[in-house]
Structure formats: C-alpha cells, structure tokens
Amino acid sequence: MRELLNAGWAAVFLPGEPARLGWLLLWKPTGAATGDSMAPTGLETEAVELVLPHGRSVRRRRVEGYAPSQPSKTPSS
C-alpha cells in the first residue's frame, strides 16, 4: 500500500452496511505526483462522490477509482 501512496494514489475508506463490508477505494487526485498511473491488478473500476477541498471551501466531486469487487448485498439462502 505504501508504494501506491508514494506513487501519487490516494485511498479513502467507504463504510458498508454492516460495517464489516466497508472497503478502500484507490484513486488518483488531480495534481498527484506523477508516478505509476497503472491501476493495481485484480481491482474493478468504481465511481463515487467525495467531498474534496476546493480553495478555502469544499465541493462534492465524482471520482473514478479502483476497488475490490463488492460482495452481493442479497442474503444467501
């Protein structure tokens, strides 16, 4: 994980319901350090809305990132 963060990737925890289904989303912020921009293998593309700094304020932004495939939310029989 440290190598990804050093290469300019950012990580955000997205809570799940129940809490144990939370997951990390890896994404490249605008202006991130130029480094390996290849997505880590074995992850799917996800788009989420984040609240990010914008000047002296914050704004909602839809960002595309990479996360492990999500388990089905339907209860198994």
Predicted confidence pLDDT, tens digits, the chain (77 residues)? 677 777 788 888 988 888 888 888 888 887 766 655 666 677 888 899 999 889 999 999 999 888 877 654 444 44
Please state the pTM of the whole predicted model.
Answer: 0.64
| pLDDT for 34 | 60
Q: Cα–Cα distance between 42 and 25 in angstroms, integer?
A: 13
| pLDDT for 76 | 45
Q: Cα–Cα distance between 28 and 22 in angstroms, integer?
A: 20
> Which helix (H) or strand (E) segment is 4 a member of?
helix 2-6
| pLDDT for 8 | 80
